[in-house]
Structure 1
Amino acid sequence: MLVLRSSPASPFGRKVKIAALELGLMDRIEVVIADTTDPAEPLRRQNPLGKIPTLVLEDGTTLFDSRVIVDYLDHLGGGRLIPAGEARFAQLRLQALADGISDAALLQIYEARFRPEQGRNADWLAHQAGKVTRGLEALEAAPPAFPDRPRIGEIALACTIGYFDLRFAGTWRADYPRLVAWLDDFAARVPAFEATRVKS
């Protein structure tokens, strides 16, 4: 049995879970919640970075981060999420953009969560917010099309903007109507998206 160390709210963990569901591998994976802030958490021995998601293989070795885990699962599942040829690079680029937007959003959240208000760096927050805005604007200008089954880039994007609904109460929606329509279409076509949604 594979063990996925993650947390329910993580957009990166959600990406891995949707990938596993799409590949028919979820019955081979046990999901175990990890507390990245706990010094005694076994995650820190499983992944020296203490980050989620981390996948523990049956022989005890580990894979991280989410992009490596998804690549491994796609290998196990027959290569349906990461295409071959030139299409591969378009998907990996879209995944990198979506993951980068999530990273910038998380850094803003962590600044507010872990630093007292008087110690927060407004320039740093604006720097991260700029990454989010530029990324979403680029995607709004050209939302990606996808075939009958989603690939890794589309899955990563859905998890990223789904995270904005969770952490920012959907405030992004008014500015990005084409992405809203894209996400609604994705959710309707990919049941794994709803199956992995955190309700609050």
Structure 2
Amino acid sequence: MMILYCAPISPFARKVRMLTRHLGFEGDVEERFVDTAAPDATFFAANPLAKIPTLVTPQGQALFDSAVIAAYLDARAGNPLTPPGEACFAAKAYEALADGVMEAIVLIVYERRWREEAKREPRWVAHQEAKIARGLTRASETVVRPGHQLQIGDFSLAAALGYLDLRFEGTWRATFPDLEGWLTDFAAQVPAFEATRYHASSQRRA
């Protein structure tokens, strides 16, 4: 049995939670929702950084961050989401791009949550927003490319877009119609997207 330390609203956790389901490991993973602001000793023992997601393998090895966990799960499943040969590096770069978009979104959320309005840095927020826009532009070019096959980066991108819907009311959709159509197709191909949908009642937990 694997143990996944996660939170219901974390986009990085959702990426992994989608992967466990899509790759057929749902029955082999115990999900433990944790509060990273007040983690317990068990979570600290698994990950001294107290960051989610963290996956503990059946052998007791703790894996983090989401990219490492995703690679582990895909390898256990026979690498169906990793292109062979040199193409794997482009796939990893795409995953890193989508993960970077997620990180920028989370940083904006934290800035608004933890800083008083008078102490917020508008230029810093604008810098993160620009990263998101550039990242989504590049991601859009990637997913509409002929012959694009489902891969780990798609799970990162779907988690990022879902998080934008939750935190910023889907304002990205008007700017990136290709991604809106892609997300509809992804949700149809990957039922785990709907199964792990963010719930507004848990917004303070990520």
Same fold by TM-score greater than 0.5: yes
How far is the alpha carbon of 1:150 from its aligned partner? 2.2
Letter in 1 for 2:103: D
Alignment of 1:2-21 (within 5 A): 2-21=2-21
Secondary structure at the aligned position of 2:15 is classed as helix
Alignment match, 1:112: 112
Secondary structure at the aligned position of 1:98 is classed as helix
The answer as to whether partners of 1:105 and 1:132 remain within 8 angstroms in 2 is: yes
Letter in 1 for 2:97: L
Change (3 A) 1:130 1:11: same
Alignment match, 1:38: 38
The answer as to whether partners of 1:35 and 1:41 remain within 8 angstroms in 2 is: no
Greater alpha carbon shift after TM alignment, 105-114 vs 33-42: 33-42
Q: State the aligned residue count.
A: 200
The answer as to whether partners of 2:173 and 2:180 remain within 8 angstroms in 1 is: yes
Unaligned 5+ runs, structure 2 = 201-206
The answer as to whether partners of 1:36 and 1:43 remain within 8 angstroms in 2 is: no
Distance 2:110 2:51 in 1: 14
Change (3 A) 1:144 1:99: farther
Alignment match, 1:27: 27
Change (3 A) 1:127 1:78: same
Q: Which has the higher contact order (CA 8 A, sep 6+)?
A: 2
TM-score by structure 1 length? 0.92
Unaligned 5+ runs, structure 1 = none
The answer as to whether partners of 1:3 and 1:57 remain within 8 angstroms in 2 is: yes
Letter in 1 for 2:130: G
Alignment match, 2:203: none
Identity %: 47
TM-score by structure 2 length? 0.89
Greater alpha carbon shift after TM alignment, 117-126 vs 97-106: 117-126
Greater alpha carbon shift after TM alignment, 96-105 vs 69-78: 69-78
Change (3 A) 1:31 1:132: same
Distance 1:29 1:98 in 2: 24
Once the two structures are superposed, residues 11-33 of structure 1 have per-residue CA deviations (whole angstroms, 9 ceiling, x without a partner) of 11111112112211111000000
Distance 1:107 1:175 in 2: 21
Alignment of 1:16-165 (within 5 A): 16-38=16-38, 40=40, 42-145=42-145, 150-165=150-165
Distance 1:102 1:194 in 2: 18
How far is the alpha carbon of 1:58 from its aligned partner? 2.7
Letter in 2 for 1:114: W
Change (3 A) 1:191 1:40: closer
Once the two structures are superposed, residues 145-189 of structure 1 have per-residue CA deviations (whole angstroms, 9 ceiling, x without a partner) of 587972112121111111111111111111111111111111112
Over aligned residue pairs, what C-alpha RMSD do you find?
A: 1.9
Greater alpha carbon shift after TM alignment, 137-146 vs 96-105: 137-146
Secondary structure at the aligned position of 2:72 is classed as helix
Distance 1:89 1:60 in 2: 29
Distance 1:155 1:126 in 2: 26
Change (3 A) 1:187 1:147: farther
Distance 2:11 2:121 in 1: 25
Distance 2:114 2:30 in 1: 30
